[in-house]
Amino acid sequence: MAMSEFGIVYAVHIITVQFGSVVSKVCECLLRKGPLSSRDISRLAESDINHNHVKDILYLLIQHNCVQAFSIEPPDGSENKAIVQYIVLFNNIVHRVRYNKFSRLVNEELGTECGAVLDGLLSNGRLTLGQLIERDRDSGKTIGSEAIRDSLQKLVAARFVERIPSPEPVLGNKEQEPAKKRGAKAAKILKEPETLEERVVEAATPVDAIRFPLIFEEDANSSLAVDDSNITEGKRKQRDVDSSDPSSGVIWRPNFEEFIHRLRHKACVEIVKERRDEGCAIVLRAMLEVGRSQEKKVKTDNSAPMSIGSIYEEVIKTEAGRTMLQERVEACLDQLSATSSYLPAFVTEMNDSYIVDFKSIISVAQKDEIEAVVMRRYGKEAFRMFRYLSQEGRFVETDKIADAALTEKKDTPQFLLKMWKDGYLHMQKLAITGTYVPFLLWKVNKLIVTRQMLDEMYHASLNLNLRLAHELESEKELLMLPSDKLEGPLKERVKKVKAKRLLLSSTMFKLDDAIMLFHDF
């Protein structure tokens, strides 16, 4: 999905707060102009930044996974060298406000020691094992080099941490690539990435054996060990982790894709829990665990097929699922497979196997979010019209909408025009012979509405961030006072400031969940 205006402004704000205004100028230049060379950036950025300073800023943004370098292969016969260009990674910038969510996921699943290692990577962008150990030694609460090593091993095994991508992938020149003849079915499967950013990310991403290397494997015969297979298992356990350890030289970074993958699964479970029941949520969670390893991308529409036996085996591994008999699990699967006028099937049954329909689950939550906004902004009458058009999925004339939504025909055009002006409806005019007034047709275009919603959410999130920063800045001196000096009115003021900060923070947290629902899931 293309970046919206407020999406760009929001990303620039995040960079400004965390790295300063000069760095944000370079980032904004890339966001608005697209991929550029370092010299083009120094020429186009709206600031007096010399070329060397631009290069330093780009290295900083690469260190923090906000920019990726790449080059495009020159055409055959050309004597020109490939020019290194830099592309901004919009998603990774927005992920920076989600670090607390990522830390919570790891703390819940792998424990606080793994959480501490992850926090080091989140705050520094990229680190080697040796740098993680040095950082731990310099901290007030050291957990030890062996704990760091074990924690990093767990994070890599869970795919929360990955080896850094290729520093400068070379893309093939699309203009000279021969067009391959494929059938319709093959074309769908072998579809190329849609955007240049996706092409660059795909080219930079190494294969899984390199991306998640088993460098900690203690099996001396492991083919994926890092050139130290001559060390015996006993010596391997006894040796200290130091700079001579081959694993210390590997540079690691957080794997944002896996975090979004897990958050998407959690969101799906919550959606099913709200719209079905606790039992269905337990079964769906088990299905997601069974099929997770086979999901190759975050935005997959359907899971791999799974048998009732494998689902039940996963259900009884959890404390909540141990009380469920297989008969109850089958009943939950029937519930999840059922359709109604308000809910689609969340699970598809096929040849004694079950497939999770992620697209249906996410679309239900998206529809509820959009309808809630329409209700608040335009009222019940407009809400009924919008819901009717959403269900129809086609162009409908004004009078039919009025009849279906049970509204006055004279008032209906006003409601429809308001929603159309704000981008929530698509309008089509039909000229009819013999009449001066055009015949109006209306439709909900989900793609346009989704983009509109997303842009509004970026705008709202930006405003909340600015408001929180203003509140904290205006009361900075008060918040710096020691607690023993806070008495009477001052104590009450501090309570109000903290309550306001908590309200704004929790609102931003929930709003970001909605942004992920429309943009990442």
Per residue in 390-435, pLDDT tens? 988 899 999 999 999 888 888 899 999 999 998 899 998 876 666 5
pLDDT (0 to 100) of residue 257? 95
Per residue in 287-326, pLDDT tens? 999 999 888 888 899 999 999 999 999 999 988 889 999 9
Query: Region 248-276: what's the mean pLDDT?
Result: 94
What phi and psi, each to the nearest 5 degrees, are found at residue 518? -90, -30
Per residue in 115-148, pLDDT tens? 999 999 999 999 999 999 999 998 878 899 999 9
What band does 341 get if pLDDT is binned at 50, 70 and 90? confident
Q: With contact defined as beta carbons under 8 Å apart, do 377 and 385 qualify?
A: no
Per residue in 49-105, pLDDT tens? 889 999 999 999 999 999 999 998 887 656 678 889 999 999 999 999 999 999 999
pTM as predicted: 0.85
Q: Count the neighbouring beta carbons within 10 Å of the beta carbon of residue 19.
A: 17
CB pairs under 8 A, 24+ apart, for 285-294?
A: 285/318, 286/311, 286/312, 286/314, 286/315, 286/317, 286/318, 286/321, 287/311, 287/314, 287/347, 287/354, 287/356, 288/356, 289/314, 290/314, 291/356, 292/261, 292/265
DSSP per-residue string spanning 291-344:
HGGG--STT-SBPPPEEHHHHHHHHTTSTTTTT--HHHHHHHHHHHH---SS--
Quote the mean pLDDT of the chain: 86
